[in-house]
A and B are shown apart, each in its own frame.
Chain A
């Protein structure tokens, strides 16, 4: 009967997280043994032998108190630094990451590859290549948790959140929703299939032709008549979208922000939140007219505009945007 203590290590972050755990365990075991041992020893060695015993009063010294404050503090600072470093790198997807979009809703995961493949509760990815997930929720807060990768990130309605990892070992790994989301929270689970790169290519080209996300986005763009205002030559009443993604945008209130996925999403659903300098607040909201998946398709399409052939999205946007924060 197998009784494992650790999940498999299947991502670049897994061994690092486990090493951090070992350090913490070592410190914890040391102090546990120290305290339990001291209590055990003192209790027996100094057990009461007569009812009239009156032990001598011992006074502490500043030195002792400082020593047993500073040493633990030093250890905790190592724990902090190590953990913060790992965390920081977990928040910075590399430029060449494979982009996957995730929409969580009660009680299922909908995943979309850029090439158009859609998966429900399953995600196929190639080993050895970083994967970046851009995620949102259609309803309540969920959380995308893959124990074998040692990663987790909440999936929040109204914003995009990001997580990334590089799968290192082909196999099949649990996907769990890790933020309580209602009745079937414990059934909002699935599988991550890590495949050899060759197998992944095969898988990618098989199945129904969905059209890539960007192609679907272009269709939606035309259906919603976005091009009436957002003309490709820049002559319309609204800002030109070609080459927009990844660029800095000057807003009417003086701020400058970067046009990342979150900005594009917000511009579609809450267009008056940020007005571009020199333009009027004319755009109507498309909230209710387009689903979160539709928004993702539009985002991918707009990302593709102005992209030179042969350049990856990463080269247009060398510093992938950080997750939307508050």
Chain B
């Protein structure tokens, strides 16, 4: 039999359209998966445009890609992968009811997420200084196809920008989770928000795992 605290948590958290906590958790989880599928389709349009233009303008895309700092991009990739790890640890902590661990791991994930955004801001600023931002002042050395080069960077900013927006929302969600964890809202019986936020965070991470090689590593070779 569930003890009084657990029953109370269950009752508080169970919404009236659901019959059982399990049904609610299943529905929430399925809902998040469905949402992530819509996000795949959303990003998909940009990936399609990227694929088409990379195919027809490969040399210019390779040149433009080489102007990106792959080391910084790789560092950012590592940052996000670590943040997914800390997120998994946070979910685990909530599953076994370790409130302090949960809070610590959420904070770590948030720090790593903010770090990613900070590095991104630094990269974008660099691009701005180098006149690689599409617009009247755009110029990429080494090619006569400035229009096509601008296409690469338009896609670069659109895709990393959309990704960064999703990261920002993710950081907002983490902050909310932190507040709720602090208030003790999550128990092993009710940690669904942490769980599905984890799904979202991993998804945003995976998008970056695709973005990094596609944008930073076109035709790159070690040592070049």
Contacts and interface: CB of A to CB of B under 8 A. Distances in A.
Question: A contacts B directly in the complex (CB < 8 Å)?
Answer: yes
Interface of A: 253, 270-273, 281, 284-285, 326
B58 A281 contact: no
A291 to B, nearest CB: 19
Interface in B131-166: 143-145, 148
Contacts of B57: 273
Contact of A284 (B52, B143, B144, B148): B144
Contacts of B60: 272
B144 A285 contact: yes
Contact of B58 (A253, A270, A271, A326): A253
A281 B148 CA distance: 15
Interface of B: 52, 57-60, 143-145, 148
Contacts of A281: 144
B174 to A, nearest CB: 42
A326 B55 CA distance: 11
A272 B143 contact: yes
Nearest to A326: B52
A272 B145 contact: yes
A270 B145 contact: yes
A271 B145 CA distance: 9
Contacts of B144: 271-272, 281, 284-285
- Max count, chain A CB within 10 A of own CB: residue among B52, B143, B145: B145
Nearest to A270: B145
Nearest to A273: B145
A284 B143 CA distance: 11
B96 to A, nearest CB: 53
A281 B144 CA distance: 8
Nearest to A284: B144
A307 to B, nearest CB: 31
A270 B147 CA distance: 10
15 contacts: A253-B58, A253-B59, A270-B145, A271-B144, A272-B60, A272-B143, A272-B144, A272-B145, A273-B57, A273-B145, A273-B148, A281-B144, A284-B144, A285-B144, A326-B52
B151 to A, nearest CB: 12
Contacts of B58: 253
B218 to A, nearest CB: 14
Contacts of A271: 144
Contacts of B145: 270, 272-273
A253 B145 CA distance: 16
A198 B121 CA distance: 72
Nearest to A285: B144
A270 B58 CA distance: 15
A270 B151 CA distance: 15
A281 B59 CA distance: 12
Contacts of B148: 273
A273 B58 CA distance: 10
B48 to A, nearest CB: 12
Nearest to A281: B144
Contacts of A326: 52
Contacts of A253: 58-59
A285 B146 CA distance: 11
Nearest to B56: A273
Contacts of B59: 253
A281 B142 CA distance: 11
A105 B206 CA distance: 46
Contacts of A270: 145
A70 B9 CA distance: 58
Q: Which 6 A-B pairs have the closest CB atoms?
A: A272-B144, A272-B145, A281-B144, A285-B144, A272-B143, A270-B145
